[in-house]
Amino acid sequence: MKINISDAQIRGAHVQLEGLSKVYSGGTVGVDAIDLAVAPGEILALLGPSGCGKTTTLRMIAGLITPSAGEILIDGTSIVSLPVHRRNLGMLFQNYALFPHMSVLDNVAFGLSMRGVAKAEIAERSREALRLVQLEALADRLPKALSGGQQQRVALARAIVYRPRLLLLDEPLGALDKKLRESMQLELRQLCAQLGLTMVLVTHDQEEALTLADRIAVMRGGRIEQVGLGREVYEHPISAFVANFIGTSNLVDARIVSRDGDVTVLETDQGQSIHSTTRHGFALGDAVTVSIRPEHVTLAPSGASASGPNSLEGLVTQAVFKGQNLAIHLRVPGGADFVCTIPVAMTGSAVPAAGQIWRMTWPADRTIVVSRA
Amino acid sequence: MTDSVISLPIRILVLLLLLVIVAPLAVPMLMAFSDTPFLTFPPQGFTLRWFERVLFGPEAQTSFLFSLQLAFLATITALLLGVPAAAALVRYEFRGRSAIIGLMLSPVIVPLIVTGVALLQMFSSLGWGDTLTQLVIGHAVVCLPYVVRSVTASFVLVNRDLEDAAAVMGAPPHKVLTKIVWPQVRPGILAGAVFSFVVSFDDYPISMWLADGRHFPIPLYLHGLLERSIDPSIAAISTLVILFALLLVVVIEKVFGISIARLAT
């Protein structure tokens, strides 16, 4: 049977983390008892600021860091006691980690030669993998003769040539420029679907997480703060941290003063009233934060009658042209800063300018109630 | 930096520096051909008889071969101690790390003549009789800093991600060592070996204390010759030693494709 990577139907691994922890010798907790499941063929992003434990988690799955406690299961079987080289995973590193003393082809062939595959088959499959990333012509070059994007594609070919069922990506596109990064993101997505690979991706870039991943696990201080589909996490963040880490949010501290069916009425610290019709699990009197996405705020000239319950007047401090959008920064009496984005195509004759007073309105069903901090 | 960027004053300065370094070496090389029974510069006449006398003189031959043997053994010893030491010093943070670095590099700082006499005192109080062993230990002590320095430098450059990548791709630890680490540290080890060999081969102050009549390295022979007679055979030996060191560097560069100059920086 001729083995052909692009035709092979590889089913991705089912990954489960159970109470996975890493406590360093000094007592510092890197990862704090996280539970997480990744379905076969799914792309999951571990998203968070530096030091949140995302890289430690990834390296524990790879076997490069020994967990202090907990289980890592691949298709139901624990791999915690397996050494790195027996885990049969693929991994992409931020700096590509290509072997500088080996040609591109030898780099790609490395994993197969470690598996004792016959020479002829190694050559065939390595070329096949290079063809998959469209770099067959550069097989005999040394890595240093390649551009950053090409190097990352070699690293990708090298990681999938021995057909792992799980691919780990450690900020793989961080060193590439924006254009290249975006095309690589799409390429990776396509490849994952084509090979049926499961992918776990570490990133601090929310845009990358949203573009590349099916689900996002937002990490903070060694714990998973929220996990869900990209859109879900974006539209229904559970905390001010998540709301601000994924995209930008206008965050206003408030207290719940009444609930009437779907409608929650909140009062801000400045005494303004805000209505929300979104679901949340808070009770009367709870101190919470209200999150409003900049794209959901509409602006009207000062003095216009309020068209809904949620309306505030603010002084425009800056109007920034961002290409597709105009970002308007406003200051509300009492000190809260707001930002709202309006599509440039939608701006009519009256465009907000610094120094003017404008009225902001936003719908109650776009007013998210999240936990403070 | 390309040549065009280097300004003229800098070029002249570099040229002068090179002249100061190279000129003294050229003097004995020219005097070695002088057809006079005494050392003179500029050389008068032309003859190869001084080279003939040195190359075919039994004493000089014996000393030269002994120096080769000593340099070889000292280098092997310095490598056996220095390579693992350098690897550990780069890889691990441990208490006393800087103290160990300082101690290992101290032979470069302490005058060699002091190290030599200290070794002699130690060996004689221990009652060790084997001159060759004493010389090898003495030379290895002096060679060690050079090995540690250049091997440390090469280990610092090894990217840990490469080892991780290899392991993830299925390489067991011994394969990671042979396929990934070794190719990257090999130039540093080779450079350390060359430095070590040359340092031992040229050493006078250590050998002076530890050598005896049957173990007589070439620098001692040269010195003895200087005290007895001053004829161009001294220049001839010096020339041969210089050429030998040059040959060593050229061989390393051409055969192994490693730039010693680049590694030394």
Instruction: Provide the residue ranges of all domains of chain A, joining segments of one domain with +.
Output: 15-235, 241-371
Domain contains B197:
yes
Kindly provide the ipTM of the predicted complex, given to two decimals: 0.83
Residue B257 lies in a domain: yes
Q: Which fold has domain A15-235?
A: Rossmann fold (3.40.50)
B110-168 per-position pLDDT tens digit: 898 899 999 999 998 988 778 899 999 999 999 999 999 989 988 888 888 999 999 99
Quote the domain boundaries for residue B206.
58-264
Beta strands A166-170 and A90-92 are parallel
Residues 6+ apart with CB under 8 A from B46: B33, B35
Q: Does B161 touch chain A (CB under 8 A)?
A: yes
Cα–Cα distance for residue pair B28/B42, rounded to 1 Å: 10
Does residue B249 lie in a domain region?
yes
Residue B3 lies in a domain: no
A184-192 CB contacts, 8 Å cutoff, 24+ apart: A184/A149, A184/A152, A184/A153, A185/A211, A185/A212, A186/A211, A187/A133, A187/A153, A188/A156, A188/A212, A189/A43, A191/A132, A191/A156, A191/A160, A192/A41, A192/A43, A192/A167
pLDDT tens for B169-207 read 999 999 999 999 998 888 889 889 988 998 999 899 999
Average pLDDT over residues B12-28: 89
- Best of A84, A91, A108 to mutate (most B CBs within 10 Å, chain B): A84
Three-state secondary structure call for residue B169: coil
In a domain, B104, yes or no: yes
In a domain, B48, yes or no: no
Tell me whether residues B167 and A85 touch, CB distance under 8 A.
yes
Peptide bond into B24 cis (omega under 30): no
**Interface contact flag, B170 A114, Cβ < 8 Å:** yes
Closest CA to A34 of A62, A69, A66: A69
CATH class entry, domain A241-371: mainly beta
Contact A216, A233 (CB under 8 A): yes
Tell whether B12 is covered by a domain: no
Please check whether residue B40 lies inside any domain of the structure.
no
Of A16-25, A130-139, A237-246, B251-260, minimum mean pLDDT range: B251-260
In this model, does residue A111 exceed pLDDT 90?
yes
Whether residues A85 and B180 touch (CB distance < 8 A) is answered with: no
Token code pair at residue B61: 């031959």
DSSP-derived secondary structure for A244-258: HHSS--EEEEEEEEE
Q: Pairing state of beta strands A325-331 and A311-321? A: antiparallel
From residue A308, alpha-carbon distances to A359, A360, A363 in Å are 12, 10, 7
pLDDT band at residue A1, thresholds of 50, 70 and 90? very low
Contacts with B164 from chain A: Cβ below 8 Å = 62, 64, 84, 91, 93, 97
Q: What residues of chain A lie within 8 A of the CB of B162, using their CB?
A: 97, 99-100
Total of domains in chain B: 1
Best mutation target, A25, A114, A122, A125, to test chain B (most B CBs within 10 A): A114
Average pLDDT, chain A: 89
pLDDT, one tens digit per residue, over A59-110 is 999 999 999 999 999 999 999 999 999 999 999 998 899 999 899 999 999 9
